[in-house]
Structure 1
Amino acid sequence: MKSIFYIFLLMPILLWSQTNFEKAEKLFEDGKYESAKPYFENYLKENPNHTETIEYLGDIWGQSKSWDNAIFYYKKLKKLKPSEANYHYKYGGALGMKAKDSNRFIALGMIGEVRTSFEKAIILNPKHIEARWALIEMYIHLPTIVGGSETKATNYANELAKLSPVDGFLSKGHIAEHFKRFSEAEKNYKKAVEIGHSKKSYQKLANLYKNKMNMPEKAKSVLEDFAKQKG
């Protein structure tokens, strides 16, 4: 009888916690991140190791570009589940964004941890596409003197091609565009459109024509082709 009594006693607390999480999740899904935050925070007080809640809070702080707060939650996730690739990826992403917003000397001290976080994500999940994209971005934007390398970026693009041909062509096009080899970028984006027909592929090709190659009519034609495909 005592055990039944305690279950009934705890029931309102359990229901209150569950309601907090469900409310928060619904608000998050609706894009109401700031409204969702206090509900997640209250739920976390009752369930301090609930990884979903911690991840949501990291994502919310990331949305508002509060990188230190996002890092705090993602770092907690890494400690709770060190074998989860995506937690290392998100931690590296938040750290990288903080580095981007910091002065040059602080940023230089963070590059190593950013890189190893993305590499760890790939080790834990060899099919992790986003971590490879992140490393490509890092290597093409870093100056050579502090580790920037088109060769390393291309190596990750080649790995992407094996996992996802569309991502392979898009990443190779992205690298070529960054280094102002626009004809090479165009060929890769066209291949991505041809095999993937994704919105991103069409947009990348249209943006290249409009913003880099001064071909607004071609850009318009690409977007019209995409609209026809969807129609």
Structure 2
Amino acid sequence: MKYVLIFLFPCLLLAQSGYDRAYATFDKEKNEQARLVNEKLLKTNPNHLKALENLGDIAGLNKNWDKALGYYGKLKSLKPNEANYHYKYGGALGLKALEVNKFKALGMISDIKGSFEKAIQLDAKHVEARWALVELYLKLPGIVGGSETKAVQYSNELLAISAVDGYLSRGRIEEYFDRYKAAESYYKKAIAVGGSKLTYQTLANLYEEKMGTPEKARLLLEEFENKKTIN
């Protein structure tokens, strides 16, 4: 199922910060201390929202998806109209789907999708949930609901909320289907409106990893560094 579904941990911006990268810098000792502090808070107040959320995030960073789902599930029950709780629940469920057998994972797709859709229903400008749905519809095979059309739909919604996210997500779609020139065009638009390191790095990665033009990647990143120095 790992080649069918791909998710990034929900406390990070989807499709912009990889889970593995986050885990590489994860301070286990510091977060173990945080876990103990938050568990102590729950003993005096079992419905402490921030403690529950922190513990869910810590469990996720430790790849303990069932525990994360328990915390996020309780948060949804306590505050059902909070979009981020549904979003985080969907993300943790998606990551759990990567680790179970493919038949069980297929049965989880509806709940994963529903969690992200609920987040959007509750927060019309929820960027991360739309990124998650772009990834979901790209990675799922058509027979179980994958759809480029749906991915583009959520990318267009992102564009209406945040031009940078809209162009990056559309570039992501084009890159996924090996339409590299189109992806390049959208990534350039993201640079034009955003100009962040992320936008430059995304296009540089396309040049180096997909288009076989490492020199263009080098010059692009050099351009960003020069711009940063001037600013």
The amino acid that maps onto 1:188 is Y
- Deviation of the 1:39 alpha carbon: 1.3
Unaligned 5+ runs, structure 2: 1-25
Residue deviations 1:70-96 (CA, integer Å, cap 9, x gap): 111000000000000000000000001
Superposed displacement of residue 35, structure 1: 2.1
Letter in 2 for 1:168: G
Residue aligning to 1:162: 160
1:40 to 38, 41, 49: 38
Structure with greater helix percent:
1
RMSD (CA atoms): 1.5
Q: Secondary structure at the match of 1:32?
A: helix
Q: Which amino acid aligns with 1:54?
A: L
The answer to whether structure 1 residue 148 and structure 2 residue 161 are counterparts is no
* CA distance in 1 between partners of 2:69 and 2:226 (Å): 43
2:195 paired with 1:197: yes
1:102 match: secondary structure = coil
Instruction: Return the alpha-carbon distance in structure 2 between the equivalents of residues 31 and 79 of structure 1.
Output: 30
In structure 1, the residue matched to 2:207 is 209
What is the alpha-carbon distance in structure 2 between the residues aligned to residue 36 and residue 85 of structure 1? 24
* Identity in percent: 59
The corresponding residue for 1:137 is: 135
State the Cα deviation string for residues 88-110 of structure 1 (Å, max 9, x = none).
00000000111122221111000
Match of 1:127, SS state, is coil
Given the superposition, is the C-alpha separation of residues 29 and 83 from structure 1 closer, same or farther in structure 2, using an over 3 Å criterion? farther
1:75 pairs with 2:70: no
Letter in 1 for 2:183: A
- The reply on whether 1:57 has 2:55 as its aligned counterpart is yes
What's 1:109 paired with?
A: 107
> Which entry has the higher C-alpha Rg, 1 or 2?
1
TM-score by length of 2: 0.86
* Runs of 4+ with >4 A deviation: 28-31
TM-score w.r.t. structure 1 length? 0.86
User: Take 1:227 and 1:45, find their aligned partners in 2: how far apart are those partners?
Assistant: 49
Deviation at 1:29, TM superposition (A): 9.8
Residues 84-99 of structure 1: matches in 2 within 5 Å? 84-99=82-97
3-state SS, counterpart of residue 98 of structure 2: helix
* Residues 4-31 of structure 1: CA deviation (Å, up to 9, x unaligned): xxxxxxxxxxxxxxxxxxxxxxxx9998
Aligned residue-pair number: 204
Q: Which runs of no fewer than 5 residues in structure 1 stay unpaired? A: 1-27
Task: In structure 1, give the amino acid aligned to 2:182.
Answer: E
Give the Cα–Cα distance (whole angstroms) in 1 for the partners of residues 39 and 169 of structure 2.
38
1:221 paired residue number: 219
Structure 1 residues 29 and 128, CA gap change in structure 2 (3 angstroms): farther
> Which residue does 1:12 correspond to in 2?
none
Please give the per-residue CA displacement for 1:168-202, whole angstroms capped at 9, x wherever unaligned: 00000000001110000000000100110011111
Q: Which one has more relative contact order, counting CA pairs under 8 Å at least 6 apart?
A: 2
